[in-house]
Structure 1
């Protein structure tokens, strides 16, 4: 999933001491009543609360709190546990999963949660109308990939036919629904039984079922706010549905009580939730504070119990980690910071794209001194990245780091010469795009300096706000763009599948038939060790081609007092369970 922390910018040494001193001036003031049982700080506004459309970590965190999947992954224990499904069975050949829903589970409006609600949501994810970036996660389901391709072709033909009417669009949609029932291996056997048939055995399927794309949505509410476009034939839900708490119906431990865009999100315990009696928080307030220094000050002054908004680089992070504070928590995470290279053959203006040449990509990557970046720019101990999959993230899988790019400016210059850009001559128009908010700029400036010094390449940097950044990356309106990816489930494919030629999250638009074929071969291997070996072969090819330049693996930093905030499950996957937390304010 995409990582959204707005990194730190512009703070000077001694900030921590200044903030602490300022906070101490307030100790004589009467503490105000808490705004909620738990208050936490998030560093970025939500892009969407539509489970089938989201890809950013902070969106997924909320979706997993207000919606409940069939099963949940316990990222601390590494186990899959029952959620909306009380139990499940897997056929001997590993191709059929049968889920039995809990008795009496309900949506927040009192409607029963049915097996058909999951069918509705999964069909919605597989309609290209929804533009689900993670639709490909479902391609292991029988007929799912074929259905997606068929519907894409169908609406394309509809638009070209030039006979657009509401009646024609409705017929097209009904045909698509019938096609889904006919070819896709998902069906509600009865009200409480869901059967899923797979194309091939997928050992991590249960883990994926706990991901946001597989979350159920309330059919009647979604349909009421979904419009059929007679011109395009697309059936799309109005964005206002997901931002209006009075209309949003959910089935998770919490519901959204109020949302003020870019300011806060207030959650309330869902009284209809099947396990509501166990949940100790009645309310949660998420404060959106894009500036990390402001967020830290609010936390330190007691305006929040927990902060996700601490940057993993810069002076603030360095001083926090060097302090003896008991409320600073850090760990190496299952995430990678990297640069996307736009691999399309032409640029947006139609000119030849030099980054389509693997030699240029490798040269640029070889000229990045990652050790210097993590020691002088970030300074919080991030491991240098030689692979996309973080070492140690997946038990039993060893990323082929020996094939990864290392700092070698001499070899980089030779590669550029071989590609026809000796001394950087003719390699024009390169720009590093990043989202504003902090350390992304620091890293971009450092990398720009390395490329200009070592290769003679002229590079510019451009910072834009996060929504504009996301839109431009999706449209390939960039040459080089910062990026980050955290694993969604415990398997190498959660990283490697991102760069399949057909994947909606393949922002580099790298297209390698050989890479796709290796992933396909791995998918057919039942023996875990052999499968991992084939995936390592695929990653070695990825390392050579360098559609991305891995820079470092993340260190995440959180602030909370463990004597006050209880039930926090720190894990390398940056997944949080608010339904397990509580706050003891008398300590």
Structure 2
């Protein structure tokens, strides 16, 4: 290690000494874990239907398992709960054959009914899953998840009746099956449903359980919770305890990848219906089916996971105890790594990264690599003056992306003008207009703000993270320098930040997206009008049509051309500003085995193990014996 590097690391260690001491105190008295990693922030949940972030995903992949899982090297789907599967010749019907030794952590069998229950719950409008669209490739799943907006006269429907207000909130009410006769609008958002059940017509009005308990319904009306498309019309069929048949709307080349992603993981019905939400997710209650189970969770400290003695593949899970530390500070995370209190960190403070990369000989625990990801700013197009495309173009063209990446991001992050990350074979990424401050100023003047005069003060929202805040500060200065406008920044902790974005409480918001599967659609379907991920208020019918057409196009080349057209529209209308493509910044101790760089930067803990021959009690900070 060079003298400069030693000095920098020493300063980092000194600067984070107090925080490191806090972590040491919090962990004091605990038996050491076999493996410890930094999980960035406090997770908001472990409910697969509700989570969306990387910190939550790392835990979900450890404690749950889907029908398939991903090979840790290639990310190709390999058997999980399903030991094998058949795909019909037209690629519309997938039949999954579950292994007979798959168990929940309470010892009960994992069955096809568990997946049908979990996927129905995931699609239920009352669940309000942001990722519900990930299952819309299944036949009629989209219409089911739209609730009353997804049905029409003549459809077979199910009517869910109300429960007492004090009932467990994860229970369903009694479900009646019938045919929808007529929809009677009462307002823009409210309607009654005339349903025929066993030859008798009844007018149902959806309302919440409290209202139904407090008040009698109007004459001629019966209360209910909701009226939905009959779930038996959705392409999810339980053939028997160990066989699940799934029918798609159209051939979907990445469907197996979706099945291995956490939104489609199963949850234990008995657990949910015993404890309700959110209590069912607490460590003392939660029942899971993955390689690990949660032993305990300490807020602002760690989640400790222990190997499940019920997991079907437990003999090949080699780490017995794993700690996931909730550390938002990059400096503290690096301190914990360098003092051997963490075996894997996913990010490094930029100043330290710059010096570590310069080291000669190169470190063997740091290997930055691009992956399928994109860093961008969302624009709330519902707010003036951001509803004017000229303003959005001006903001994008006034950015010096090269300055951002070279000054603040030393790991080799690539300036980007596209949303879809490079690296998907056969797809040609599209680009927004390049940097052009003069044209940006002209556009701003045309929009009514010459030299920035009269332009309202905007705000950039970021989640709490040193790098995000530094980028926002530099962008603020660039816009002030090039456009003469004033911008302020606001950062929020992870949960509040996600809520603000979901509710559209921002002007511009930092956003990162890592591909859920290896396909451009994982980036582009976020911005369709109906996507729960699209909080920008932007809607474009042609864009929606192109993304929808790509979903039904069987020819791979033609499909990619449709998606390229869609990305072109997106980058002309600019409800987002592309900034750069991520580079993985993992630091992993050399004694850790089973950790591989891959195109989605996914690293399942259950596939890792410790090479004891390389782990010495007197290791130097380089991680070498």
Say yes or no: does 1:450 pair with 2:486.
Answer: no
Deviation at 1:46, TM superposition (A): 0.7
TM-score under structure 2 length normalisation: 0.82
Q: Following the alignment from structure 1 to structure 2, what is the Cα–Cα distance between the partners of residues 400 and 326?
A: 36
Are 1:16 and 1:320, in contact at CA under 8 Å, matched by a contact in 2?
Answer: no
Q: Determine whether 1:565 maps to 2:565.
A: no
Q: Which one of the candidate residues 230, 237, 241 is aligned to 2:280?
A: 241
The separation in 2 between residues aligned to 1:241 and 1:328, in whole angstroms, is 39
What secondary structure, in the 3-state scheme, does the structure 2 residue paired with 1:356 have? Answer: coil
SS in 1 for 2:560: helix
- Secondary structure, in 3 states, of the residue corresponding to 1:329? coil
The residue that corresponds to 1:77 in the other structure is 74
Residues 317-370 of structure 1 deviation map (CA, whole Å, 9 limit, x = unaligned): 2122222322123111211111110012xx4xxxxx211111111110000010
Which residue is equivalent to 2:117?
120
Please state if 1:361 is matched with 2:392.
yes
Task: Write the mapping of 1:5-20 to structure 2, written as runs, cut at 5 A.
Answer: 14-19=7-12
Q: Would you say 1:159 and 2:207 are equivalent positions?
A: yes
Is 1:287 matched up with 2:325?
A: yes
Q: C-alpha separation between the residues in 2 aligned to 1:13 and 1:519?
A: 51
Q: Which residue of 1 aligns with 2:358?
A: 322
Cα shift at 1:186: 0.6
Match of residue 522, structure 1, among 532, 535, 550? 550
Query: Which structure's relative contact order is higher, taking Cα pairs within 8 Å and 6+ residues apart?
Result: 1
- The within-5 A match list for 1:50-89 is 50-74=47-71, 76-89=73-86
Task: Tell me the CA shift for residue 163 of structure 1.
Answer: 5.2
Aligned to 1:579: 606
Give the whole-Å Cα distance in 1 for the aligned partners of 2:568 and 2:214. Answer: 50
> What residue in structure 2 maps to residue 259 of structure 1?
297
User: Whole-Å Cα distance in 1 between the matches of residues 562 and 216 of structure 2?
Assistant: 47
CA displacement at 1:222 relative to structure 2: 0.9
Q: Structure 2 CA distance, aligned partners of 1:167 and 1:212?
A: 40
Could you tell me whether the CA contact under 8 Å between 2:72 and 2:603 is conserved in 1?
A: no
Q: Deviations over 1:78-105 (max 9, x none)?
A: 4211110011111111111110101221
Say yes or no: does 1:396 pair with 2:426.
yes
Offset, 1:483? 1.0
Structure 1 length as normaliser, TM-score? 0.88
Contact 1:42/1:309 (8 A) holds in 2: no
Question: Taking structure 1 as reference, are residues 566 and 331 closer, same or farther at Cα in structure 2, changes over 3 Å only?
Answer: same
- RMSD in angstroms over aligned alpha carbons? 2.7
Q: Which moved more, 1:526-535 or 1:464-473?
A: 464-473
Q: Is the 8 A contact 1:389 1:495 kept in 2?
A: yes
Larger CA deviation: 181-190 vs 265-274 = 181-190
**Alpha-carbon displacement from aligned partner over 1:436-479 (angstroms, at most 9, x marks no partner):** 22111211111111111111112112222222222111111111
- Aligned residue for 2:394, secondary structure, equals helix
- Indicate which of 34, 37, 42 corresponds to 1:40: 37
Q: 1:192 aligned to 2:222?
A: no
SS in 2 for 1:336: strand
Q: In 2, Cα distance between the equivalents of 1:462 and 1:86?
A: 48
In structure 1, distance between residues paired with 2:103 and 2:266: 12
Aligned residues: 544
Distance 1:78 1:269, change over 3 A: closer
CA distance in 1, matches of 2:322, 2:557: 43
Q: Return 5+ residue gaps in structure 1 as ranges.
A: 1-11, 27-31, 227-237, 348-352
Instruction: Provide, for residues 406-441 of structure 1, a one-character-per-residue CA deviation record: whole Å limited to 9, x for no partner.
Output: 110111112112222222223203111112221112
Larger Rg: 2
Matches within 5 A, 1:74-473: 74=71, 76-151=73-148, 157=191, 158-159=206-207, 164-165=212-213, 172=224, 176=228, 179-226=229-276, 238-242=277-281, 244-311=282-349, 314-323=350-359, 324-344=362-382, 347=383, 353-392=384-423, 394-401=424-431, 404-473=432-501
Contact 1:47 1:59 in 2 (8 A): yes
1:504 aligns to 2:501 (yes or no): no
2:560 pairs with one of 514, 528, 532: 532
Whichever structure has more helix as a proportion of its residues is 1
CA 1:167–1:114: 2 relative to 1, 3 Å: farther
Report the secondary structure of 1:433's partner residue.
Answer: strand
Call closer, same or farther: CA 1:180–1:116 in 2, change over 3 Å: farther
1:584 Cα shift?
2.6
Q: Distance in 1 between matches of 2:12 and 2:34?
A: 25
Partner residue in 1 for 2:617: none
- Of the candidates 46, 49, 53, which is equivalent to residue 49 of structure 1? 46
Query: Matched residue of 1:397: which SS?
Result: coil
Decide which moves more: 147-156 or 423-432.
Answer: 147-156
Q: What CA deviation, in whole Å up to 9, does each residue of 1:483-506 have, x standing for no partner? A: 111100011010000111111111
Contact 2:35/2:321 (<8 A) preserved? yes
**What does residue 185 of structure 2 align with?**
none
1:527–1:167 distance in 2 versus 1, CA, 3 Å: farther
Q: Distance in 2 between matches of 1:75 and 1:479?
A: 38
Distance 1:319 1:222 in 2: 49
Other structure's SS at 1:207 match: helix
Deviation at 1:583, TM superposition (A): 1.1
Cα offset, 1:182, TM superposition:
2.7
Change (3 A) 1:124 1:161: closer
Counterpart residue number, 1:233: none
The CA distance in 2 between the partners of 1:429 and 1:59, in whole Å, is: 34
